[in-house]
């Protein structure tokens, strides 16, 4: 099934939905919450942990529909001071999204960033962006054009990232465009999908409302949602125009427990099979040679996929809201057992809490991620990794435009991140983050001289200590964000050791 035919079908459905279907939906110019606002994510999570937001909230883009519904049912007088501040911030952001608007954003910086995390909108230096969003009836659009003055010859100077068109029909939303995605409960990085890489062109289908499934003959209900997409990896890579399929099922069996199941798969592309039969084999996990009777003698191996699950459990400890969360995510499996999708799995774990830090409402977290997977013996070494996010056919791996789709720190990395998301005042917010990163832990790269293959961050082992901060202030129609990173990198070859300082300024204006 070619991506072009998918797009044609999507446009047809969009037209039909816009012209013929009538539904009750608030006139939200931006129907989704994207990955650009870490403060909105923190405030939503606070009210979710306290039971005021009952919809699943660990899949982004996150629909405004259920967030707004849950906020409307909140009795403000029953909230704590921190919860009230979260409530009013969410309301304010919804009111901004609830109208057609045009925004202009300028970004200045010393250098491009190496890592882009949730809430980071600065990726490359010196850009100007104009974005306009509208919603008419059941049809929503967001047109975003950016110009990057310092882009090199391998990068686009003109970009349409975060541009999309969407149509609503019944309890479903179909969209086409370039949207950042974040799958999982984490704050700094995600093993499955994060906004580290630029968004690719994709067609998606998402459940609009997480209307609960009610267990028969009981009052027990389980809110759930689902999203799936098919994207085209149209960057420079070994297999040109490979397709990327993604799927996520998210549910909340209890108010304090949220579970997510994710699958991601590369398939198709130039000179590769991409018919429905190939996709079916991929879908049922029959995608490794000799597994389940699959014959790959004619180069018919369907593709490269990852799968896994994540969970977040929240509770109170001495009146302090805490949560434990984790992700267990695997490389290629086979369908020879019931756990076929969780072989070569790696993991991420974290704890977060909502506290008053120096009398400031703060979400603090500590997060550990490990993507070091021993995969082969080479020249007598039995500790070589180089397989997570990699594949023997799709050799560029789970990467797009030179960045990993999932973990910010790519494969063979062991990292600890401590962060805080604080509200300094009604219009001022701050994030701070300390990272200890053990990058390319095995000190080996698949192709150190080929930019299309292997670890894009470093070809050798690198131990990095990084302190980052962002200060954001809003004034009337203006918003200013100042960011700074200070880092120290140590290498086996000490002559490569270096200190770096990077700073950026983002200025936004709502017309």
Task: Please write the tens of the pLDDT for every residue from 109-135.
Answer: 999 999 999 999 888 999 999 999 998
How many Cβ atoms sit within 10 Å of the Cβ of residue 225? 24
List CB contacts of 269: < 8 A, sequence separation 6 or more. Answer: 233, 239, 240, 241, 242, 243, 394
Chain mean position to CA 282: 23
| Residue written as token pair 């969209």 | 175
Q: What is the 3-state secondary structure (H, E, C) of 328-348?
A: EEEECCCCCCCCCCCEEEEEE
List CB contacts of 335: < 8 A, sequence separation 6 or more. Answer: 284, 285, 286, 291, 292
d(CA 85, CA 89): 6
CA-based nearest residue to 508, from 150, 220, 185, 102: 102
Positive or negative, the Cα torsion across 50, 56, 61, 65? negative
**Token representation of residue 360:** 């400031």
Q: At residue 7, does pLDDT exceed 70?
A: no
pLDDT in tens, 352-361: 999 998 889 9
Dihedral, 204, 205, 209, 214 alpha carbons, nearest 10: -140
**Token representation of residue 394:** 């799709």
Q: Which one has a higher pLDDT value, 135 or 331?
A: 135
d(CA 124, CA 479): 19
pLDDT at 19: 36
Q: How confident is the model at residue 343 (pLDDT cuts 50, 70, 90)?
A: low
- Provide mean pLDDT across the span 279-308: 76
Chain mean position to CA 447: 27
List CB contacts of 451: < 8 A, sequence separation 6 or more. Answer: 402
d(CA 228, CA 399): 19
Element (H, E) at 221: strand 221-222
Long-range contacts of 483-486 (CB under 8 A, 24+ apart): 483/109, 483/120, 483/122, 485/113
Main-chain phi, psi angles of 166, to 5 degrees: -140, 150
- Provide mean pLDDT across the span 448-477: 94
List CB contacts of 159: < 8 A, sequence separation 6 or more. Answer: 145, 146, 147, 148, 198
pLDDT at 430: 97
Q: At residue 287, does pLDDT exceed 80?
A: no
DSSP letters spanning 124-177: SSSEEEEEEEEEETTEEEEEEEEEETT--TTS-SEE-TT-EEEEEETTEEEEEE
Q: How confident is the model at residue 13 (pLDDT cuts 50, 70, 90)?
A: very low
- Provide mean pLDDT across the span 467-486: 96
Give the Å distances, CA to CA, from 496 to 48, 458, 460, 464. Answer: 46, 12, 11, 12
- Provide mean pLDDT across the span 477-501: 95
pLDDT at 295: 64
| Residue written as token pair 């911030």 | 89
2-6, 95-99, 223-227, 340-344: least confidently modelled range? 2-6
d(CA 140, CA 98): 12
pLDDT at 92: 92
Q: At residue 455, does pLDDT exceed 80?
A: yes
pLDDT in tens, 143-179: 999 999 988 888 899 999 999 999 999 999 999 999 9
List CB contacts of 23: < 8 A, sequence separation 6 or more. Answer: 138, 168, 169, 170
| Residue written as token pair 């070494």 | 381
- Provide mean pLDDT across the span 450-470: 95
Give the Å distances, CA to CA, from 33 to 38, 61, 74, 402. Answer: 11, 5, 20, 26
pLDDT in tens, 402-452: 999 999 999 999 999 999 999 998 899 999 999 999 999 999 999 988 989
pLDDT at 335: 42
Q: At residue 1, does pLDDT exceed 60?
A: no
Positive or negative, the Cα torsion across 92, 97, 102, 104? positive
Q: What is the CA radius of gyration of the chain?
A: 22
DSSP secondary structure code for residue 71 in this structure: H
Strands (E), 332-443: 343-357, 360-370, 376-378, 381-384, 399-400, 403-404, 414-423, 428-439
Q: At residue 286, does pLDDT exceed 90?
A: no
pLDDT at 388: 93
Buried-state track 148-180, b at ≥16 Cβ within 10 A, e below 16: beebeeeeeeebebbbbbbbbbeeebbbbbbbb
Could you tell me if residue 47 is left (phi over 0), alpha (psi between -120 and 50 degrees) or otherwise beta?
alpha
pLDDT at 22: 35
Residue 366: half-sphere exposure toward Cβ, Cα within 13 Å:
2
């Amino acid at each position: 099934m070619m991506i072009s035919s998918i797009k044609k079908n999507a446009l047809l459905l969009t037209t039909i939905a816009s012209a013929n279907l009538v539904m009750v939906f608030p006139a939200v110019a931006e129907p989704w919450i994207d990955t650009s606002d870490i403060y909105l994510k923190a405030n939503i999570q606070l009210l979710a942990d306290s039971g005021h937001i009952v919809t699943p909230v660990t899949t982004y883009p996150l629909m405004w529909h259920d967030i707004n519904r849950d906020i409307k049912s909140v009795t403000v007088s029953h909230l704590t001071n921190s919860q009230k501040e979260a409530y009013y911030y969410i309301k304010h952001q919804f009111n901004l999204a609830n109208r057609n608007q045009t925004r202009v954003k300028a970004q200045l910086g010393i250098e491009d960033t190496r890592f882009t995390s949730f809430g980071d909108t600065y990726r490359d230096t010196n850009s100007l962006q104009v974005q306009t969003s509208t919603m008419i009836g059941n049809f929503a659009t967001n047109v975003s054009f950016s110009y990057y003055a310092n882009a090199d010859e391998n990068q686009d100077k003109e970009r349409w990232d975060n541009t999309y068109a969407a149509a609503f029909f019944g309890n479903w939303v179909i969209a086409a465009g370039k949207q950042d995605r974040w799958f999982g409960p984490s704050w700094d990085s995600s093993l499955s999908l994060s906004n580290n890489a630029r968004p690719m062109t994709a067609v998606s289908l998402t459940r609009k409302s997480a209307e609960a499934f009610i267990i028969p003959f009981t009052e027990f209900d389980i809110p759930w949602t689902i999203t799936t997409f098919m994207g085209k990896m149209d960057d420079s890579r070994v297999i040109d125009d490979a397709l990327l399929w993604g799927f996520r099922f998210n549910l909340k069996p209890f108010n304090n427990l949220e579970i997510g199941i994710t699958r991601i798969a590369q398939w198709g592309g130039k000179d590769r099979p991409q018919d429905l039969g190939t996709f079916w084999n991929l879908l049922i996990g029959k995608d490794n040679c000799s597994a389940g009777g699959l014959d790959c003698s004619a180069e018919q191996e369907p593709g490269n996929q990852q799968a896994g699950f994540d969970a977040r459990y929240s509770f109170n400890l001495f009146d302090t809201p805490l949560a434990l969360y984790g992700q267990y995510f695997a490389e290629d499996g086979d369908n020879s057992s019931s756990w076929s999708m969780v072989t070569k799995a790696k993991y991420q774990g974290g704890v977060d809490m909502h506290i008053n830090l120096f009398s400031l409402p703060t979400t603090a977290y500590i997060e550990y991620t490990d993507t070091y997977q021993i995969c082969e013996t080479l020249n007598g070494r039995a500790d070589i990794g180089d397989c997570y996010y990699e594949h023997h056919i799709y050799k560029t791996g789970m990467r797009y435009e030179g960045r990993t789709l999932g973990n910010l720190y790519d494969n063979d990395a062991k990292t600890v991140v401590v962060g805080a998301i604080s509200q300094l005042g009604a219009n001022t917010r701050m994030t701070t983050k300390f990272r200890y990163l053990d990058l390319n832990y095995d000190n080996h790269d698949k192709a150190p001289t080929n930019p299309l293959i292997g670890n894009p961050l470093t070809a050798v082992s690198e131990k990095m200590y990084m302190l980052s901060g962002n200060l954001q202030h809003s004034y009337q129609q203006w918003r200013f964000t100042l960011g700074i990173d200070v880092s120290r990198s140590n290498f086996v070859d000490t002559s490569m050791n270096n200190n770096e300082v990077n700073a950026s300024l983002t200025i936004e204006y709502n017309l």
